[in-house]
Amino acid sequence: MTMIKVAAAASVLVAAGAGAAGANTMKFSYPVAEESTMGQTVNRFAELVDQKTEGAVTVRPFAQAQLGNEIQSVSSAQGGIVEGAVTTTAGLAAMVPEFDMFNLPFMFESYEQMDQVTRSDVSKSILAKLEANSIVGLCYWDYGFRNLTNNKRPVETLSDASGLRIRTIQNAVYIDSLKAMGMNPTPLPFPETFTALETGAIDGNEIADDVTRSGSFYEVQDYLTQTKHFTTLSVVYVSKKFWDGLDEPQKAAVQEACNEASDYNRQIIVDGEQGTLDFLREKGMEVNEITAEELNGFREAVASVVDGVTGRLDPAVVEAFNSEVEANKAQ
């Protein structure tokens, strides 16, 4: 009996120790493959968190929506089931409408401009609005500009895009913008996209080139057009329950790691951009450009969408955001 009691006590201690060790383990959910730029960024974030907290906080990445798609990951983080995740601003806009400022078509002209805006006070103030929803926004990462792919025809003019059934994110700005450009948007969770393209349920996709590569969409898509119509800006966030369990030095270290990973994220996107296009060409995709004149037609088509979105948001936020965008345009 004494031996049983000792064993039972030991088991309790082991369980308590395991609980303590696991208390600062961050299960981190993201929707794409580990070899993608986002997957590489998540892994770098995990390394940085480990270094900066000296192992007190551990990040366990889960790629390819193993813990749920973007919307499911948000819900899981709110409930403390998943400790961290990265979700597009499009996926978070229903929760914080101001994120739609980042989703407006043709908002950014360059990565440099985007980086300056996302590091601004107004963008940080938008992140802070997440806390009322039981998640804490840390910083912004992204997948790169979104471009148009399809298996019907080359797209070089606005009329070429007309009628194409294009997969997009479940976000009103994305859907309305594609409609305004003459396409038939089909919102689908990312994990369902490849099959929908393969079976012909949809004609194309609008996604970052890196994801076209890492998701093997080149196997079921013939044409790629460099429209750069949206960014795939994303928010890194953690469960408030998890965040509140960290001490102040740990919080500072995780925040610093997120910021540094953001710099890393941008560098690998820029460094890999040309290689990705070359790879997709080698796999048989035809890559098309749009002239500046034709691109103006796309911009004009979505002007009413931009006006509609900005008209329903806090005017002070819109003004501050637009001021940052304008101030950081290429000279």
**Residue 15 belongs to a domain:** no
pLDDT at 23: 64
**Residue 331 belongs to a domain:** no
CATH number at residue 236: 3.40.190.170
Count CA atoms within 13 Å of residue 107 on its CB side: 31
- The C-alpha atoms of residue 240 and residue 132 are separated, in whole angstroms, by 9
User: Residue 18 pLDDT more than 60?
Assistant: no
**Residue 3 belongs to a domain:** no
Structural domain containing residue 319 = 22-325
pLDDT in tens, 45-62: 999 999 999 999 999 999
Name the region of 163 (left: φ>0; alpha: ψ -120 to 50; beta: rest): left
Of the pLDDT bands very low, low, confident and very high (cuts 50, 70, 90), residue 330 is confident
pLDDT in tens, 141-150: 999 999 999 9
pLDDT in tens, 274-329: 999 999 999 999 999 999 999 999 999 999 999 999 999 999 999 999 999 999 99
**Residue 6 belongs to a domain:** no
**Residue 136 belongs to a domain:** yes
**Residue 12 belongs to a domain:** no
**Residue 330 belongs to a domain:** no
Query: Which residues, in sequence order, are bridge partners of residue 224?
Result: 149, 287
**Residue 73 belongs to a domain:** yes
Amino acid identity of residue 18, one-letter, is A
Q: E-strand spans in the chain?
A: 25-29, 58-62, 84-88, 135-150, 165-168, 184-187, 204-208, 223-239, 286-288
* Count of domains for the chain: 1
Number of neighbouring beta carbons within 10 Å of residue 249 = 12
135-150 and 204-208 beta bridge pairing: antiparallel
58-62 and 135-150 beta bridge pairing: unpaired
